[in-house]
Structures are given as structure tokens and as C-alpha cells.
Amino acid sequence: MALWLQLQRVIRNGSFNFISTLPHSRSFSKSTPYVVKVGIPEFLNGIGKGVESHVAKLDSEIGDFQKLLVTRTLKLKKLGIPCKHRKLILKHAHKYRLGLWRPRAEPIKA
């Protein structure tokens, strides 16, 4: 109760600055463009886990990386890509569209 009264006095006296106590809004600038050009081979190699074995099939059937980003699971299934690999491709495509994931410039050496 005493704290509340003390706060009221500070506000009445005008010595309390509300604007300085408000959290500052963050301004996020656009991220810098990625250095490596991302195509279907770079994307699938970045995912790893055996997905890179489908590079030739996806490159010939889909052709464009932007089309791969909006491809649905049924299209990938018709191309004969196994379920686990479809899930990985779709998960990473969604993250890529949101800007949360990018393939590395150099593949990780295991």
C-alpha cells in the first residue's frame, strides 16, 4: 500500500517521466542479401539427411527453385520422394520462406 501511495505522489509532482519508462520499439532492418545463390541443388544439399539424392529428379520435374518452395506434398509424392524426405523438404521450404533458415555456403563435414 505504501508503494502505491509513493507512486501516486511521484506522478502528481510531475517528476515521473512516462515516456522514458516505456519500452523502446525495436526497428528491424531487412537482413542483408545472402551471398550464395540458392537453387534446388544448394537447397537440398543444405538440408542433407539423404534428401540430396533427389536433386536430379526435382531439377528436371520442377525446374525452378521458387516452384519448389510452393510445391505441395502430393506433387512430391507423385515424383516418388519418400515420406521422410518430403517432410524435410516441406519443413525447410517453409522455414526458408519465413527467413528462418538458409542453406550453408559450405556443406558440413560429418
Q: Which of 107, 60, 65 has the alpha carbon at shortest distance from 89?
A: 65
**Coil, helix or strand at residue 49:** coil
> Could you tell me the pTM of the whole model?
0.64
What distance in Å separates the CA atoms of residue 110 and residue 92, rounded to the nearest whole number?
Answer: 20
Q: Above 90 in pLDDT, residue 67?
A: yes
Cβ proximity of 89 and 44 under 8 Å: yes
Render pLDDT for 7-49 as a digit per residue (tens, 0 to 9).
Answer: 777 777 776 565 555 555 555 555 545 456 889 999 999 999 9
pLDDT for the residue numbered 32? 47
When pLDDT is cut at 50, 70 and 90, the band that residue 61 belongs to is very high
Residue 107 confidence class, pLDDT cut points 50, 70, 90? low
Domains of the chain in sequence order: 40-98 (1.10.150)
Q: Is the pLDDT of residue 110 over 70?
A: no
Measured between its terminal Cα atoms, the distance across the chain in Å is 62
Task: Determine the average pLDDT of the residues in 57-69.
Answer: 93
How far apart, in whole angstroms, are the C-alpha atoms of residue 68 and residue 77? 13
